[in-house]
Chains A and B, each alone.
Chain A
């Protein structure tokens, strides 16, 4: 579904990403791991269109997407979260989910002002979908709270729900477990697996929590100092000498 070939990103003299290639197939959970500053988030930013890659090809569902504006890439069905939670803090939880469905609702000004039947129908559909996902991530009782007042773990879940209401095919999660306690991490683990099984969503994951990564990933890509180091199944990665060296240093 997503294929990245020889992706490079240069910031002035710094080559942040150097020749990274990766593939995500349908209903797969793929992880990108690597030490801090390895360029994982830069890869994310290039794929999702926030950066224009210096060179390389990105194909999503058979379409070349490098160089497209970020919001257009997102509309193709590829949604991401951020390392730091980015919610609409002063809006309520439910409003956050309604905004995410902006392009699915009737945005025609006149039909909105007149509350035409088609406008009402789309709005109530959006509300139902939002309610469905709130229930799924266990936030339904907090629907009318301001998003900024939620606990950190709840904000993380809301961010994932906000991505899911857009109906994506590929969900990109940037360190979703950062700052979560062990119980919340386990819940997240279940949620991600259920997204794959029940909603046919592929997931591209950046994560430092090795327990989570090894447990749920179908394949793992290791990046170190911007260059690809290894890729394979969790078992292959766990025993790969290069990976061990990069993580633990030479012995």
Chain B
């Protein structure tokens, strides 16, 4: 204990030095002058309490560590909660079905606000799974992923504004456009590796955002594009004649469409359009999950991972690394475009503001937090991150701080992510 004393004193002083000016002193305007003002008494009490806490924790470090080791479970906590290896397949399926039923029921039990947040969470699930292909599987650090998201959102907004195309037509176009952008960017950039690739993709993300900001005649510049229509649902109509009509969920349907409540003769419910959007998002997220799940188990998925593990070995075995990297980049971008179109439909209004660098960081954080390459992990992390952001709206200024803290804690406790990737077990005939 004695030998800890100097260090404990030192850390306590550091705490005071750091927090006194930041929390204890305030700059306020007094007429034209800036005046330095002390904080309230209670703030000082808190600061000294914090310093005391730091001092004591350092002083009794050994005892604390011993106590912690006594209660700490060995290994990954989440991994411990999982069922045993041989029953995991079955348990996974049951879990998935229960989760799906719960997901379908969400909008009917919670209000409009929560359905809306859940829709956002699903958008991030799609984004996370898409980026997981690029970063988690192929090992290409992409810091400009938000650019493809923006391409998807703007393509839907612009196509519906200028050509009046419906959501269901724009969705594949958005994905295709984003994929094209991914492909075009990928070509020159994929010779780069690691940090260099990260910087160039970061630059690309900014270019797209600045382009959207300044291409005022097309994109509306910083004002963005408003009045993006919500998705409609095609429906068969028998009366007066056999045809397909597009059902809208607003009070008054646009030219050529029919309002849902008029079609079925039910009273108008304003929360219905949120619910429908959520269900559409759910379907799209499911489609994404299924496709990505297949991709990982396909030759192309194996090649992505092999490339991440050892590029030189890949080349020596006859794998074309450019083609493989490009496929990862392009397919990843396509999912971002997918999510972007959905985002445009949810917001009804988009502007370059929605596609800043921080957005890329959040998506990347989802992938890292969930566990690189792990699908379930990424899905859980996406939901968690969106929830955290929504719950911490009041502490908006501290959001980045909280984010950093979560990252640091995670690196200490589970550097592999919440649910680390598990390798598929392949059954051989001869075994």
Write the residues of chain A forming the contact surface with B, with a CB cutoff of 8 angstroms: 48, 50, 70-72, 74-75, 79-82, 86-92, 94-96, 98-100, 102-103, 105-107, 109, 112-113, 115, 127-128, 130-131, 134-135, 140-141, 143-144, 146, 162-163, 166
Contacts and interface: CB of A to CB of B under 8 A. Distances in A.
Contacts of A115: 294
B418 interface: no
| Chief secondary structure at chain A's binding surface | helix
Contacts of A92: 423-424, 426
B319 A102 contact: yes
A135 B430 contact: yes
Contacts of A72: 318
Interface string B290-328: 010011001110110110011011111111110000000
A102 B327 CA distance: 14
Given A91-B309, A109-B295, 8 more contacts: A50-B315, A70-B316, A71-B321, A81-B316, A90-B423, A95-B426, A140-B428, A141-B431
A140 B423 contact: no
Contacts of A90: 305, 309, 423
Interface residues of B, number: 30
Given A127-B426, A128-B429, A131-B428, A71 B319 contact: yes
29 contacts: A50-B315, A70-B316, A71-B315, A74-B318, A79-B317, A79-B318, A81-B316, A86-B316, A87-B313, A88-B305, A88-B306, A88-B310, A88-B313, A90-B423, A91-B423, A92-B426, A96-B306, A98-B299, A99-B302, A99-B303, A102-B303, A102-B317, A102-B318, A112-B298, A112-B299, A112-B300, A131-B430, A141-B431, A166-B318
Nearest to A147: B309
A75 B428 contact: no
Contacts of A100: 317
B33 interface: no
Given A88-B310, A143-B426, A112 B294 contact: yes
What are the 6 tightest A-B residue pairs by CB atom distance, in nearest-first order? A88-B309, A74-B318, A112-B298, A86-B313, A99-B306, A75-B318
Contacts of B312: 50, 82, 86
B187 to A, nearest CB: 16
Nearest to A49: B315
B93 interface: no
Contacts of A81: 316
B372 to A, nearest CB: 10
A140 B429 CA distance: 11
Contact of A48 (B298, B309, B316, B431): B316
A105 B291 CA distance: 19
B72 interface: no
A134 B431 CA distance: 11
A103 B428 contact: no
B80 interface: no
A107 B299 CA distance: 6
Interface string B31-44: 00000000000000
